[in-house]
């Protein structure tokens, strides 16, 4: 007969063993999947949608290449984003902790992002994951401090008469009381000090996608769109001249890139960065001639789609990437002309019809990988094709020669180089007028701010220096400026996978769409060659601070991954911000 005490001990031991088994079973999912526990896989953000994109939460462990990226190379990008965003909602605590992280350790940085951010796959409204990655760079131009017979094309700073006018105010009627405050044109009460009643002649003007503002000028008692490129070249613009350059095509390339460096005859360098744009759409030259395929290739490099279904279309690029620009290209091919739009009389600049507008952003510069400073015949041919090669006829008439404007009193951010007067140009020089004509048909025009050269990159739309190979130009409506963005694509230099953390720190008029990026490659010829070669299918993931992710989901009004038939009721921006993305 068993001893009762022994039976009691055996029963207790059995219960203990069963409790151990139950405890191990309960903890087994965590023990078997430590990576999921570490990356917060059970703490995903809520899915949501905007008018332009769908955002699907994903665990960091499911990001392809996340654990292999050299994250220490992205630390400077994060540092720059924090410089711009630390006072924004959701960023203060994140940036404060980043300062304490060992930025040389990939593991430490990986843990930092996983603790503070939710990751989202970016999809088009049609739920397509594939998009397009292109590239841009800083070109080098030769320049002079004073105008002469060879160096006769001005690099303009911000014009004193270029004003910003909120698109929402435009809806207030065809006649309005307005006042000028700085570079803004604001609504005012009738008869208020400094106010005047104006006629708004802005039917064909389009606002910037980021700030929802029109670029305008005052013409007597009328408010009109700012001058087109053709009109700018026909007048002595009230703007500082930062330098004079000898090659109009190189200047155009720098305007397309949005930044560059100018080497003066004493060997010093001036760095110029995007300051503003004239508000006209980016319309490159496209013809049916022998250069058509070259032009279409260059347009794709600029970040524009060459259409779908045609003989020249690229099957690797989804047709949905930029259908608006496809329509633009079809329009230009249909009229088959290489002649630029006619220059108008100074009082009435040409305004492309709404059908011709590609939906580019007046407040954000167009981007492309066009010219480097080297003797690259292919790059030079692309520039010539895009700019018409200088073959377009000059206007029949132009104003009488006017001295280049004095920069005194200008509102430009940079100290300009003092221009010489037209009288200093050689007799009979083509540069004897306000500026030398370029015959470039694109009506868009970029103005710059200048500064000394330095080790940091040019300043992007976020207002901070760009980091080569880690800064990205994006559509700010679907990718908030400053945010980390993980990309997965192929390396244009070698064809292997390229998976890395980037930072959305710039914008571009041709950079539109949900899964759309333009990679900044840096300065010089080698960067230019990489930029020209970058035209890759890509996938993108947005990293949002967790508190911002909650706001984004709530801002979507509860319409997350359901049908987007009511897309018009969705927000325009992921995060509405008066500086970075203004709601309609």
pLDDT in tens, 488-544: 999 998 879 999 999 999 998 778 889 999 999 999 888 989 998 999 999 999 999
Given this model, what pLDDT does residue 3 score? 53
Tell me the pLDDT tens digit for each residue of 352-377. Answer: 322 222 333 334 445 543 333 333 44
List Cα–Cα distances, 341 to 35, 226, 228, 313, 497, in angstroms.
Answer: 59, 16, 10, 26, 43
Cα 132 from Cα 514, distance rounded (Å): 10
Which residues share a beta bridge with 539? 488
Q: What angle do CA 107, 111, 117 make, to 5 degrees?
A: 140
Q: Which CATH superfamily is domain 47-162+226-584 in?
A: RlpA-like domain (2.40.40.10)
Say how far apart CA 213 and CA 582 lie, in whole Å.
9
* Structure-token pair, residue 54: 């769908």
Mean pLDDT of the chain: 73
* pLDDT above 60 for 313: no
Decide: 473 and 84 in contact? Cβ < 8 Å.
no
Rounded to whole angstroms, the maximal C-alpha distance in the chain is 128
Per-residue model confidence (pLDDT) at position 434: 55
* DSSP letters spanning 136-173: EEE-EEEEESS--SS--EEEE---TT-EEEEHHHHTT-
For 120-143, the three-class secondary structure string (H helix, E strand, C coil) is EEEECCCCCCCEEEEEEEECEEEE
d(CA 225, CA 232): 12
Which carries the bigger pLDDT value, residue 171 or residue 16?
171
Indicate if the pLDDT at residue 397 is higher than 50.
Answer: no
Report whether pLDDT(438) > 70. Answer: yes
| Residue 175 · residue 199 · CB < 8 Å | yes
Q: What are the pLDDT digits (tens) for 184-200?
A: 999 999 989 999 999 99
What mean pLDDT comes out for the span 459-476? 94
285 pLDDT tier (thresholds 50, 70, 90): low
pLDDT surpasses 80 at 252: yes
Residue bearing the bigger pLDDT, 57 or 394: 57
Q: Which of 424, 456, 422 shows the shortest CA–CA distance to 436? A: 422
- At 567, the pLDDT band (50, 70, 90 cuts) reads low
CA distances for 42 relative to 152, 226, 528, angstroms? 63, 52, 43
Q: Mean of the pLDDT values across residues 71-94?
A: 95
CB 113 within 8 A of CB 543: yes
Q: Is pTM beyond 0.85 here? A: no
Distance CA 84, CA 465 (A): 10
68 pLDDT higher than 90? yes
Q: Note the pLDDT of residue 435.
A: 64
Task: Give Cβ neighbours of residue 182 (< 8 Å, ≥ 6 apart).
Answer: 411
What percentage of the chain has pLDDT greater than the value 90? 46
Residue 59 near residue 130, CB atoms below 8 Å: no
List the alpha helices (DSSP H) in 1-57.
4-32, 34-38
The dihedral built from the CA positions of residue 103, 107, 113 and 116, taken in this order, carries a sign that is negative
Confidence grade of residue 59 (pLDDT, cut at 50, 70, 90): very high
Per-residue pLDDT, 322: 39
> Percent of the chain at pLDDT above 70?
64
Quick one: three-class SS letters along 448-507? Answer: EEEEECCCCCCECCCCCECCCCCEEEECCCCCCCCCEEEEEEECCCCCCEEEEEEEEEEC
For position 293, what pLDDT does the model report?
45
**Contact call for residues 570 and 49 (beta carbons, < 8 A):** yes
d(CA 572, CA 561) in angstroms, rounded, equals 16
Name the percent of the chain in helix, strand, coil, to the closest 5: 25, 25, 50
Residue 290 confidence (pLDDT):
37
**pLDDT value for 550:** 78
């Amino acid at each position: 007969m068993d001893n009762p005490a022994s039976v009691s001990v055996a029963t207790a031991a059995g219960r203990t063993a069963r409790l151990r088994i139950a405890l191990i079973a309960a903890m087994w999912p965590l023990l078997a999947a430590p990576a999921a526990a570490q990356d917060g896989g059970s703490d995903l953000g809520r899915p949501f949608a905007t008018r332009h994109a769908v955002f699907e939460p994903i665990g960091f462990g499911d990001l392809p290449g996340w654990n292999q990226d050299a994250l220490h190379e992205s630390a400077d990008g994060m540092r720059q984003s924090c410089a711009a965003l630390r006072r924004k909602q959701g960023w203060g605590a994140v940036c404060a902790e980043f300062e304490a992280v060992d930025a040389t350790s990939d593991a430490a940085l990986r843990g930092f992002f996983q603790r503070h951010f939710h990751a989202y796959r970016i999809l088009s409204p049609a739920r397509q994951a594939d998009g397009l990655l292109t590239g841009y760079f800083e070109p080098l131009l030769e320049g002079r401090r004073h105008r002469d017979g060879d160096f006769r094309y001005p690099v303009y700073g911000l014009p004193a008469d270029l004003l910003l006018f909120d698109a929402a105010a435009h809806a207030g009627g065809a006649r309005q009381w307005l006042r000028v405050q700085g570079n803004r044109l604001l609504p005012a009460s009738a008869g208020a000090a400094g106010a005047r009643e104006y006629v708004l002649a802005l039917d064909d003007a389009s606002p910037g996608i980021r700030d929802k503002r029109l670029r305008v000028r005052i013409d007597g008692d009328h408010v009109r769109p700012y001058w087109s490129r053709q009109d700018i070249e026909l007048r002595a613009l009230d703007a500082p001249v930062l330098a004079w350059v000898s090659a109009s095509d190189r200047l155009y390339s720098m305007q397309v890139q949005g930044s560059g460096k100018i080497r003066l005859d004493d060997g010093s360098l001036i760095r110029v960065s995007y300051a503003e744009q004239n508000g006209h759409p980016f319309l490159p030259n496209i013809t049916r001639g022998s250069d058509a395929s070259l032009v279409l290739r260059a347009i794709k490099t600029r970040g524009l789609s060459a259409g779908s279904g045609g003989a020249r279309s690229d099957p690797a690029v989804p047709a949905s990437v930029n259908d608006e620009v496809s329509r633009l290209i079809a329009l230009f091919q249909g009229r088959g002309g290489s002649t630029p739009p006619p220059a108008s009389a100074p009082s009435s600049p040409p305004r492309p019809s709404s059908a011709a507008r590609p939906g580019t952003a007046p407040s954000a510069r167009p981007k492309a990988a066009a010219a480097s400073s080297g003797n690259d015949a292919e790059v030079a041919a692309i520039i010539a094709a895009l700019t018409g090669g200088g073959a377009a006829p000059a206007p029949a008439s132009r104003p009488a020669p006017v001295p280049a404007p004095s920069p005194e009193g200008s509102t430009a951010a940079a100290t300009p180089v003092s221009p010489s007067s037209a009288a200093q140009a050689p007799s009979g020089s083509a540069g004897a007028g306000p500026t030398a004509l370029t015959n470039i048909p694109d009506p868009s025009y970029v103005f710059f701010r200048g500064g000394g050269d330095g080790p940091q990159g040019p300043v992007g739309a976020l207002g901070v220096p760009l980091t080569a190979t880690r800064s990205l130009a994006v559509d700010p409506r679907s990718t908030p400026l400053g945010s980390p963005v993980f990309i997965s694509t192929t390396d244009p230099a070698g064809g292997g996978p390229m998976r890395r953390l980037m930072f959305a720190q710039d914008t571009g008029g041709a950079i539109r769409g949900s899964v759309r990026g333009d990679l900044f490659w840096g300065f010089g010829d080698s960067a230019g060659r990489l930029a020209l070669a970058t035209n890759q299918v890509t996938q993108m993931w947005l990293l949002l601070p967790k508190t911002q992710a909650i706001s984004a989901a709530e801002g979507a009004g509860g319409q997350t991954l359901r049908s987007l038939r009511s897309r018009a009721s969705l927000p325009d921006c992921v995060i509405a911000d008066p500086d970075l993305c203004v709601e309609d």
